[in-house]
Amino acid sequence: MADLPFESVYRKRGNTLFASILGGADPFDFWAGPFYVGLFGVIAMLAIVVGVATLFIAVGQYGDWDLWRANIPSPGRQYGLGGAPFLQGGAWQIVVICATISFFAWMLREVDICRKLEMGFHIPAMYGLAVSAWVVLQILRPLVMGCWCEGFDLSFTGHLTWVSNTGFRYMNFYANPFHAWAVLGFFLTAMVLAMHGGAILGTYNTDKDPNVEMRREDSFWRDYVGYSIGEYGIHRLGFYLAVFTLIMSDLCIFTSGPLVTDWVQFWHPF
């Protein structure tokens, strides 16, 4: 892929986390094709290679290569918080460790790119919040419940089966209030996304003057629903809706098991 026409202006060495914390020149401060590498890119890539290799070796041992069914099961209950033999959950433990390392390295690589471009750190912050869902599901909740078997199997339909079983294990997940708030957040983000996408796709290049187009957006929303949040405000709304949804998702799964064992019973005192 060819570089974007203005790309050379921005491709400058220096100002990485590595250089500012450890001092000296950063040996990984370069680009590979369109990708920025950096120290954390190298760490992420190493973890990804080890994790994916483990995944392939384990799937080969289990013998089912179908993309939908190929499954890395979490350790059995008897192993508790200890290590498990490779095919009884050890592969799952290695893949989870590698994935977690690569997620955090990827986040720090995003920080490096933000520093290079001298922009805000909203994207790595939001990415970190998304990673928190993984950490809660696969590490924190199993730790609190005292067994790696609480993590979900790594596969397409295998993790769906885990979600289904976990919902029924706590009687009815729809009665989990955090689950309800999270689902509301997911639906609201989709709705606001359609409204924003529709607004921009509906108005771009309908006039020579972009201010006229913007005014068209504002006066439409005021006519339609009585309020226009504005071209800056809509992005704040979307950002914070996504933050809200992710926090509620974290709470929804972290409370199930450590704090609450039956969400239907949970409501009875009320």
Q: Rule CB under 8 A: which of 103-132 touch other proteins?
A: 109-110, 113-114, 116-123, 125-127, 129-130
Distance CA(91)–CA(64), nearest Å, equals 15
Closest separation between CB of residue 79 and other proteins, Å? Answer: 21
Q: Is 49 in the site for other proteins (CB under 8 A)?
A: no
Which range binds other proteins by CB under 8 A, 84-92, 94-102, 144-152, 194-202? 194-202
Find the length of the chain: 270
Residue 93: closest CA among 131, 55, 43: 55
What interhelical angle do 122-135 and 90-117 show, nearest 10? 170
Nearest residue (CB) to other proteins, 77 versus 236: 236
Total residues contacting other proteins by CB under 8 A comes to: 101
Q: Is 56 in the site for other proteins (CB under 8 A)?
A: no
Q: Is 193 in the site for other proteins (CB under 8 A)?
A: yes
Nearest residue (CB) to other proteins, 151 versus 185: 185
The answer for residues whose C-beta is within 8 angstroms of residue 161's C-beta and 6 or more apart is 153
93-97: which pairs have CB atoms within 8 A and are 24 or more residues apart?
93/148, 94/50, 94/51, 94/54, 95/51, 95/54, 95/55, 95/58, 95/154, 96/138, 96/139, 96/151, 96/154
Closest separation between CB of residue 83 and other proteins, Å? Answer: 26
Q: Is 157 in the site for other proteins (CB under 8 A)?
A: yes
What residues are paired with 115 via a beta bridge? none
Print the binding letters for residues 217-246 with other proteins: x by CB under 8 A, - otherwise: xxxx-xxxxxxxxxxxx-xxxxxxxxx-xx
205-221 in b/e burial notation, b at 16+ Cβ within 10 A? eeeeeeeebbeebeeeb
Q: Is 213 in the site for other proteins (CB under 8 A)?
A: yes
Q: Is 14 in the site for other proteins (CB under 8 A)?
A: no
Q: Is 146 in the site for other proteins (CB under 8 A)?
A: no
Q: Rule CB under 8 A: which of 19-48 touch other proteins?
A: 31, 33-36
- Indicate which single residue of 203, 247, 257, 262 sits in contact with other proteins (rule: CB under 8 A): 203
Closest separation between CB of residue 264 and other proteins, Å? Answer: 10
Q: What is the DSSP letter of 63?
A: -
Which range binds other proteins by CB under 8 A, 48-56, 81-89, 136-144, 203-211? 203-211
Query: Is 31 in a helix, a strand, or coil?
Result: strand
Nearest residue (CB) to other proteins, 94 versus 131: 131
Residue 230: closest CA among 199, 206, 207, 208: 199
Q: Is 199 in the site for other proteins (CB under 8 A)?
A: yes
